[in-house]
């Protein structure tokens, strides 16, 4: 936990979903994971374990819902191809 990383800015007027914001979020999650692995959660959060688990489950839910929506939107834009049964045509010689 010795490395200092920029804080994730969650001010609603400046919230951005750019690459930098996602990288900061992932860094935050990585620090949280490291702290949990080292049994040092109190160094990175003042949240109780039960509350933290609830928040993490909400993050997972929202991430999965967002993935589902993105995939659904992509699928709606793709053309639907249908197989059509055809009759075999024989050509007569001569």
pLDDT tens for residues 70-84? 888 777 766 667 777
Predicted TM-score (pTM) above 0.85 = no
- Measured at the CA of 68, the angle between CA 66 and CA 74, to 5 degrees, comes to 105
Q: Measured between alpha carbons, how far is 64 from 54 in angstroms, rounded to an integer? A: 15
3-class DSSP state for residue 37? helix
pLDDT tens for residues 14-53? 666 788 888 888 999 999 999 999 999 999 999 999 999 9
> Would you kindly state where each structural domain of the chain is located, as residue ranges?
1-94
- 63 alpha-carbon distance from chain centroid: 4
DSSP 43: G
DSSP 42: G
């Amino acid at each position: 936990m010795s490395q200092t990383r920029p804080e994730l800015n969650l001010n609603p007027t400046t919230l951005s979903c750019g690459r930098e914001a996602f990288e900061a979020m992932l860094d935050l999650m990585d620090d949280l994971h490291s702290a949990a692995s080292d049994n040092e959660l109190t160094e990175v959060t003042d949240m109780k374990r039960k509350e933290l688990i609830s928040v993490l489950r909400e993050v997972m839910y929202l991430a999965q819902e967002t993935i589902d929506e993105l995939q659904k939107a992509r699928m709606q834009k793709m053309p639907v191809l249908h197989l059509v049964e055809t009759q075999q045509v024989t050509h007569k010689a001569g």
